[in-house]
Amino acid sequence: MSRQPATFRLGELAIEGCSRAGEETWFRVSPPGLAFDVGRGPLTLAGVRDLFVTHGHLDHVLGLPYLLSRRALDHPWGRRVFCPAEIADDLAALVKVAERLERTQYPFTLCPLAPGDRVEVGRDLQVEAFATDHVVPSLGYHLLRHRYRLREELRELAPEEVVARKRAGEAVEERSEERWLTFCGDTGPSIFTREPALFASRVLMLECTFLDPSHRERAGRFGHLHLADLAAVEERFENEAVILYHLSRRHRPADLRRQVDALLPRLAPRVHVLLEG
């Protein structure tokens, strides 16, 4: 039985998805309309062109062959699947078996990525891969937005003057880059030292699998985050919103919310829990 997705909006950014540890994790992000992980293949991802896989655990990637199969029926043009370079051969083999079963070929391109690699995903939008801290090869992804604004020294000028300079061929705009969204996939706490840029992302999606004090050691062993790991770095989150997902099925969403309020009082007003609808 599939769960109802949860949704989140901040300005133009819209996120929809489901995430429970060991069950399924997938998120659709618009713009540009890409997916971070594909869970067990929800139909809502069937029309998505770019699929970014964080790692090979099946609750994040099992649905890939099914989604490629659906897409082949509905839209015969190719789509792109991005993944950690270390798992590209195995993902290709997984899809190949499905193609053989269906006596067909899915139109798609598999694109292995390493930390630091960037991909154009839309007008003025890029995704950048970064290393995370899990028990299998894994990547997280930043969604970067390029914005254009008038160069500072021109801002005092009359609009006609700026237009005249632009017509004369002068570059009147400067480009800035915003880390709009960061999706960390599954990760243990060393992510905070490996990728400190995540603290400055406008929206941060961070897994939070464990809550009980007795599960702290377990979280580290399985490459997951415990709420206490977040509490330890609470002062560093500059994000406008922090979205928590991937909660263990032992806990209810209300347990997570209550403990966030208790243990991270300063961050709590910016925390959103995105597990299911």
Q: Which residues bind Zn ion (CB under 5 A)?
A: 57, 186
Q: How far apart are CA 71 and CA 69, in angstroms?
A: 5
Nearer to Zn ion by Cβ, of 21 and 172: the residue is 21
CB neighbour list of residue 189: distance below 8 Å, 6 or more residues apart: 133, 220, 225, 226, 229, 232
In the complex with Zn ion, which residue's Cβ is closer, 172 or 184?
Answer: 184
Structure tokens at 201: 């992302």
Nearer to Zn ion, 54 or 69 (CB): 54
Q: In angstroms, give the least distance from the CB of 64 to Zn ion.
A: 15
- Give every CB contact of residue 142 below 8 A, 6+ residues apart in sequence: 127, 128, 130, 179, 181, 182, 183, 197, 198, 201
The whole-angstrom separation of Cα 210 and Cα 224 is 8
The minimum distance between CB 57 and Zn ion, in angstroms, equals: 4
Instruction: In angstroms, give the least distance from the CB of 12 to Zn ion.
Output: 30
In the chain, which residue ranges form alpha helices assigned H by DSSP? 58-61, 64-74, 88-102, 159-167, 191-194, 216-221, 227-232, 253-263
Taking the least distance from each CB to Zn ion, the nearer of 57 and 226 is 57
Question: Comparing C-alpha atoms, which of 134, 151, 148 is closest to residue 178?
Answer: 148
**Positive or negative torsion for Cα 89, 93, 94, 99:** positive
Residue 52 CB, shortest distance to Zn ion, in Å, is 15
Please identify, using beta-carbon distances, which residue of 88 and 144 lies nearer to Zn ion. 88
DSSP-derived secondary structure for 121-149:
EETTEEEEEEE---SSS-EEEEEEEEEEE
**Closer of 90 and 174 to Zn ion (Cβ):** 90
Shortest distance, CB of residue 277 to Zn ion, whole angstroms? 22
Tell me the closest approach of the beta carbon of residue 269 to Zn ion, in angstroms: 29
